[in-house]
Amino acid sequence: MSEEGMRRVTAIQNGTAIDHVPSGSSLKILGMLGLLDSRSTPISLVMNVPSKKLERKDVMKVEDRELTQEELDRLAIIAPNASVSIIRDYRVVEKRTVELGTELRNIARCSFSNCITTNPREPLPHRILVHSKDPLELRCAYCGRIQSVDDIVNNLI
Stretch that binds Zn ion, among 17-25, 26-34, 124-132, 142-150 (CB under 5 A): 142-150
129 binds Zn ion (CB under 5 A): no
Chain-centroid distance, C-alpha 136: 14
30 binds Zn ion (CB under 5 A): no
Residue of 21, 104, 110, 128 that binds Zn ion (CB under 5 A): 110
Residue 90, φ and ψ in degrees, nearest 5? 70, 5
CB of 100 to Zn ion, least distance (A): 20
Residue of 143, 149, 155, 156 that binds Zn ion (CB under 5 A): 143
128 binds Zn ion (CB under 5 A): no
> In terms of CB distance, is 89 or 123 closer to Zn ion?
123
Whether residue 86 contacts residue 94, with contact meaning beta carbons closer than 8 Å, is answered with yes
Contacts with Zn ion: how many residues (CB under 5 A)? 6
Dihedral sign from CA coordinates of 29, 35, 41, 47: positive
C-alpha 41/C-alpha 52 separation (Å) is 30
Stretch that binds Zn ion, among 20-28, 90-98, 136-144, 149-157 (CB under 5 A): 136-144
CB of 15 to Zn ion, least distance (A): 36
C-alpha 20/C-alpha 83 separation (Å) is 6
149 binds Zn ion (CB under 5 A): no
Residue 41, φ and ψ in degrees, nearest 5? -95, 115
Closest to 70 in 3D by CA, of 36, 98, 103: 98
Interface positions with Zn ion (CB under 5 A): 110, 112, 115, 140, 142-143
